[in-house]
């Protein structure tokens, strides 16, 4: 037993030494270049004009000398157009001796951004051979429109009105307030009610774009329909200013009509 005990010390030391040597090993073979990742996503905030993003590349080991690395667009696999939707600010990057990570700056233009994502596919070239992995980078970006009530004012055009107070193409006035997150859809051009000058739909907007609607007073239709109060729910689009009341209910002594739709777009 004593012999085993004494032998265990040098054996353990040898094992530790071997592990240490492997942990300190440095790759000293041929160098290769690749993107740091194969994909990324970004948004351009409405009103910001543009957004700058970095596309990172890396080499397998540190550069042995100053090395030029170039980026280009794979237009066949992109939906965004260079020079129109985005710009490459540095198509060539100089990777200094001793470094192994660099980047390219891409300017995403607000004028080219849409709510639906656009795609840019990039590829690399350099005097350093390309690796067999991460040879393309796909950047997907879209327009981000944060909570902003300034757009919900002015003249709107009717797209859909299943209650049929209006026809598609009819014009309606929208006014801001009274609260900061509210706007009014005026009844001024409603030909079927007797109180168009005083009645309106009050829309309250949440930060996520969901809305609730209520009439400030009953709409006076007269005849068998009589007075009808309005309530509803829907959404607004902070990018376009569109208003979509997807569930509108008319209630009064004559009965209730629910599930009506009322959709407006900026004129």
Enumerate the CATH 2.40.128 domain ranges in the chain, comma separated.
154-266
pLDDT band at 30 (very low <50, low <70, confident <90, very high): low
* pLDDT at site 28: 53
> Which of 178, 186, 175, 180 shows the shortest CA–CA distance to 152?
175
% of the chain at pLDDT higher than 90 = 83
Enumerate the CATH 2.60.40.1740 domain ranges in the chain, comma separated.
33-144
Of residues 18 and 67, which shows the higher confidence score? 67
pLDDT digit string (tens) for 4-21?
Answer: 344 344 444 444 444 444
CATH of domain 33-144: 2.60.40.1740
φ/ψ of residue 110, rounded to 5: -60, -35
* pLDDT at site 1: 34
* Mean pLDDT computed over every residue of the chain: 90
Residue 2 pLDDT greater than 90, yes or no: no
For 59, half-sphere exposure in the C-beta direction (CA atoms, 13 angstrom radius) is: 30
Of residues 9 and 223, which shows the higher confidence score? 223
pLDDT band at 264 (very low <50, low <70, confident <90, very high): very high
* pLDDT at site 72: 97
* pLDDT at site 132: 79
> Which of 180, 204, 199, 179 shows the shortest CA–CA distance to 189?
199
* pLDDT at site 182: 98
Q: How far apart are CA 97 and CA 178, in angstroms?
A: 63
Residue 105 pLDDT greater than 80, yes or no: yes
* pLDDT at site 197: 97
Q: How far apart are CA 155 and CA 167, in angstroms?
A: 15
* pLDDT at site 11: 41
Q: What is the DSSP string of 165-198?
A: SS-TT-EEEEEE-SSTTEEEEE-TT-TT-S-TTT
CATH of domain 154-266: 2.40.128
> Which of 190, 184, 181 shows the shortest CA–CA distance to 153?
184
* pLDDT at site 69: 95
* pLDDT at site 47: 92
């Amino acid at each position: 037993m004593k012999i085993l005990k004494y032998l265990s010390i040098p054996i353990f030391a040898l094992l530790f030494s071997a592990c240490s040597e492997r942990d300190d090993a440095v790759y000293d073979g041929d160098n290769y270049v690749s993107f740091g990742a194969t994909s990324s996503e970004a948004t351009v905030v409405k009103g910001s004009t543009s957004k700058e993003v970095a596309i990172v590349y890396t080499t397998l080991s540190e550069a042995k000398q100053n090395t030029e690395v170039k980026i280009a667009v794979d237009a066949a696999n992109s939906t965004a157009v260079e020079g129109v939707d985005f710009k490459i600010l540095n198509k060539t990057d100089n990777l200094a001796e001793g470094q192994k990570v660099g980047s390219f700056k891409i300017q995403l233009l607000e004028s080219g951004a849409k709510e639906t994502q656009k795609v840019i596919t990039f590829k690399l070239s350099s005097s350093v051979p390309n690796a067999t992995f991460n040879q393309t980078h796909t950047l997907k970006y879209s327009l981000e429109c944060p909570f902003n009530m300034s757009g919900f004012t002015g003249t709107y055009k009717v797209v859909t009105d299943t209650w049929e107070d209006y026809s598609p193409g009819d014009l309606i006035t929208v006014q801001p307030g009274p609260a900061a997150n509210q706007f009014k859809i005026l009844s001024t051009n409603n030909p079927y009610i007797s109180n168009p000058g005083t009645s309106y739909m009050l829309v309250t907007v949440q930060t996520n774009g969901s809305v609730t609607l209520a009439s400030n007073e009953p709409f006076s239709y007269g005849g068998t329909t009589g007075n009808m109060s309005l309530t509803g729910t829907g959404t607004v689009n902070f990018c376009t200013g569109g208003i979509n009341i997807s569930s509108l209910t008319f209630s009064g002594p004559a009965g209730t009509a629910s599930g009506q739709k009322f959709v407006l777009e900026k004129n």
